[in-house]
Chains A and B, each alone.
Chain A
Amino acid sequence: MENTNFIMRFLEWLMSFDRKAIILAASAIGAGLAMIAGIGPGVGQGYAAGKGAEAVSYNPKSGRQATTVMLLGAAVAETSGILSLVISLILLYANPLVNVTGAAIVVAASAIGAGLSMIAGIGPGIGQGYAAGKGTEMVGKRPRLQSSIIRTMFLGQAVAQTTGIYAMIIALVLMFANPLIGLL
């Protein structure tokens, strides 16, 4: 009788490939998944840009300062996108999982998992962009307080980055020091 359990059939089909091919395919998926985190910085920086336009229109005199704060804040909001790019590039160009010994499916799933974990970068990206937008808005209103606004904004953005950093730790652990392979 034909096996009608499609999950089993899929897994059997998957196992019909070469071990290295499976790991490389999973790395490709992981590299793509990691870049989904780009949603975060996109939304956040868009918000900051909008707030910058608003600040300049309200108070053109402080436009230059508001633009500076917007650019600084947006550059920090870019961090999670860059961290995802790093994980993606490691998966593409310096993949440490290719030479790992152990069950192919676990190694392949680790590559996908490393990419998946970087999606957490959406959160810090949006949050930092929001902080950048608020900073820009307030510098537009009160340009004299620029330095203390920037300082508070940077500190808050650094704390908002924390979960994205944890995601990167997990991605790096999955790739370079995977404890799951030793459990087999």
Chain B
Amino acid sequence: MEGFGPRIAFELPIFGGIPISDTVVNTWIIMAILIAFAVLASKKLEKIPKGFQNVTEAIVESLNSLTVQTMGEDKLFFAPYMGTLFLFLLLANLWGLLGLRQPTADINTTFGLAIMTFIAIHFFGAKSKGIGGYLKGFFEPLPFLFPLNVMGELSTPISLAFRLFGNMVGGFIIIGLLYGGLTSLSNMIGLSFFPIFQAGVPIIFHLYFDLFSGVLQSFIFVMLSMVFISMQMD
């Protein structure tokens, strides 16, 4: 998509130039932050937590309890994946607060994550029910509903991906247009050297589109993944 699509940041000089978009660069930065956090947080763990370790333990415990509450006691082994997904989405959605493009405002990121959920749904569904029981699920409640069931399963990742993408790209476009409008407003009253409108007015929009919508959408993505996976497994 031209206009509001991701820009090409630079080209990797191998295989005749691979274009790297700013989505990828921002994702790399977020990955580096998360890895650095994980390494620092688990460096010297003590029996009695204090300071930084307290914060880390609180995060891990709340993510564990969210997984247990949503998926059930026996599916605690999903907590690391779901926790990582949640932290990544949280950072990615809040990336707009830094004035950078959110990686989740790119359909490739959200679709990649949704496909991972899709694979998890069907892999763990087949694993816990057995191949026979898993395939039988498609012919229930009545055999001729098979095409409808397949369509329903295929629409899960699409709606999951586009829900996150639509919300984030909507906020991104509105914030972008808002800054453009405020810039021309400042220029109109001859304040181009001192951008007074851009400093204060967008805060309330950032609050809704980045903070509220970003946190809510990352929560919803993770919760829906958990619900879909545990529904297929039970």
Contacts and interface: CB of A to CB of B under 8 A. Distances in A.
Contact of B177 (A89, A154, A172, A176): A89
Nearest to B220: A158
B1 interface: yes
B139 interface: no
Given A76-B216, A94-B4, A166 B159 contact: yes
Interface stretch (B78-86, B125-133, B162-170, B194-202): B162-170
A103 B180 CA distance: 32
Given A155-B223, A176-B1, A165 B174 contact: no
Contacts of B171: 82
B212 interface: yes
**Majority SS of interface residues in chain B?**
helix
A94 B174 contact: no
Interface in A152-184: 154-155, 158-159, 161-162, 165-166, 168-169, 172, 176-177
A83 interface: yes
B163 A93 contact: no
Interface in B148-194: 155, 159, 162-163, 166-167, 169-171, 173-174, 177
B3 interface: yes
B170 A82 contact: yes
Contact of A96 (B3, B223, B224, B227): B3
B208 interface: yes
A90 B177 CA distance: 10
**Majority SS of interface residues in chain A?**
helix
A158 B173 contact: no
B4 A162 contact: no
Interface string B3-41: 110000000000000000000000000000000000000
B4 A90 contact: yes
Contacts of B166: 83, 165, 168
A145 interface: no
Contact of A168 (B4, B162, B219): B162
B2 interface: yes
A85 interface: yes
A153 to B, nearest CB: 11
Contacts of B170: 82-83, 85-86
Contacts of A82: 170-171, 174
A177 B3 CA distance: 13
A125 to B, nearest CB: 14
A96 B2 contact: yes
A162 B41 CA distance: 38
A176 B220 CA distance: 28
Contacts of B4: 90, 94
B27 to A, nearest CB: 22
A123 to B, nearest CB: 14
Contacts of A79: 167
A80 B223 CA distance: 21
Interface in A84-130: 85-86, 89-90, 93-94, 96
Interface of A: 75-76, 79, 82-83, 85-86, 89-90, 93-94, 96, 151, 154-155, 158-159, 161-162, 165-166, 168-169, 172, 176-177
Which 7 pairs between the two chains have the least Cβ-Cβ distance?
A86-B170, A162-B159, A158-B220, A94-B3, A165-B162, A176-B1, A165-B166
Given A86-B174, A94-B4, 11 more contacts: A79-B167, A82-B170, A86-B169, A89-B174, A90-B173, A96-B1, A154-B216, A154-B219, A162-B163, A165-B166, A166-B159
